[in-house]
């Protein structure tokens, strides 16, 4: 399927970003195109989350890895004017990776203000196993 309207989006894994990472990025967060933004995270703490799971509302989300950013971050979301320096800056300051590639383990409704719980190791594996066993 091809859609060339202005509302198009990347068909990639679920993208999660934190307010701390967005602040460190220092530009309009829409350039990162996150599906979910988590508030209350200090600095770049999300960079340590790959391999874990996030419980947000009723949903359980696996954190795969950091998102390698493409040239799309260089486009202003309002004017579509390109500034390649923004992408270069991501590569200089963040090794080219910003925000988190995630995947849904257990679907469910989430809402603004829902608590977010980071789970690691056994807690994450057991939660995921319980979902797949049902």
What is the pLDDT at residue 4?
54
Q: Average pLDDT of 10-33?
A: 89
Q: Going along the chain, which residue ranges are E strands?
A: 14-18, 36-38, 53-56, 59-68, 97-106, 116-119
pTM: 0.82
* pLDDT on residue 5: 56
Q: Are 71 and 84 in contact, with CB atoms under 8 Å apart?
A: yes
Q: Which ranges of 1-134 would DSSP assign to H, the alpha helix?
A: 19-25, 84-94, 121-133
Q: Is the pLDDT confidence value at 109 over 80?
A: yes
How far is the C-alpha of 75 from the C-alpha of 86, rounded, in Å?
A: 9
Superfamily per CATH, domain 14-133:
PK beta-barrel domain-like (2.40.33.20)
Chain-centroid distance of CA 77 in Å reads 17
Q: What is the pLDDT of residue 123?
A: 72
* Domain spans in the chain, listed from the N-terminal domain onward: 14-133
Give 126's pLDDT tier (boundaries 50, 70, 90): confident
């Amino acid at each position: 399927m091809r859609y060339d309207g202005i509302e198009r989006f990347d068909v990639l894994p679920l993208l999660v970003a934190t307010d701390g990472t967005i602040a460190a990025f220092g530009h309009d967060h829409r350039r990162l195109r996150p599906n979910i933004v988590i508030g209350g995270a200090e600095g770049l703490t999300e960079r340590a989350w790959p391999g874990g799971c996030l419980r947000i509302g009723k949903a359980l989300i696996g954190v795969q890895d950091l998102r390698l950013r493409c040239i799309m971050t260089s486009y202003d979301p309002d004017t579509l004017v390109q500034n390649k320096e923004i992408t270069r800056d991501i590569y200089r300051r963040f090794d080219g990776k910003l925000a988190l590639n995630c995947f849904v383990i257990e679907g469910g409704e989430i809402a603004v203000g829902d608590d977010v719980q980071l789970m690691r190791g056994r807690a994450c594996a057991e939660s995921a196993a319980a979902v797949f066993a049902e």
